[in-house]
């Protein structure tokens, strides 16, 4: 896959932020999953924020992949916050019957960062 199509993953402290700004096709979505999980492993991130503001529609493959990424990150001990869910995306995720246990959502990236900072502070003091 062309590396120019990769989703950038930024690290701020113990948190990774991935803002998806392009339509995800199957191959780019799988590459994103692989890149994100590797970055979680390499950085030992406590949290991941996935910003979906630019996505106005998802198909069943992308919806399931989002759920899988959240589950896999959780198994690696990393909390996940999804931000910027458009109404159509939220509807699709529910209609597909996808469950996102332990995944929090926030209206936008700023609110998501606030939520994640609280979560990672709790992890740091052992209260979660």
Model confidence pTM above 0.85: yes
For β-strands 79-83 and 9-12, DSSP reports them as unpaired
Neighbours of 10 (CB within 10 A): 11
Q: What is the pLDDT of residues 27-36, one digit of tens each?
A: 999 999 999 9
Q: What is the pLDDT of residues 21-57, one digit of tens each?
A: 888 889 999 999 999 999 999 999 999 999 999 999 8
What the chain holds in terms of domains, given with CATH numbers, is 3-124 (3.30.750.24)
CA distance linking residue 115 with residue 4, whole number of Å = 30
Task: Note the residue count of the chain.
Answer: 128
Residues 69 and 50: beta-carbon distance below 8 Å: yes
């Amino acid at each position: 896959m062309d590396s120019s199509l990769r989703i950038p993953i930024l690290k701020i402290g113990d948190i990774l932020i991935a803002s998806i700004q392009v339509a995800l096709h199957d191959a780019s979505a799988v590459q994103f999953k692989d890149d994100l999980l590797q970055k979680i492993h390499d950085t030992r991130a406590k949290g991941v924020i996935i910003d979906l503001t630019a996505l106005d529609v998802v198909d069943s493959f992308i919806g399931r992949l989002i759920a899988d990424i959240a589950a896999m990150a959780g198994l690696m001990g990393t909390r996940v916050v999804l931000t910027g869910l458009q109404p159509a995306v939220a509807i699709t995720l529910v209609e597909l019957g996808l469950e996102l246990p332990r995944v929090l959502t926030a209206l936008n990236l700023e609110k998501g960062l606030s939520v994640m900072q609280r979560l990672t502070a709790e992890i740091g003091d052992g209260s979660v």
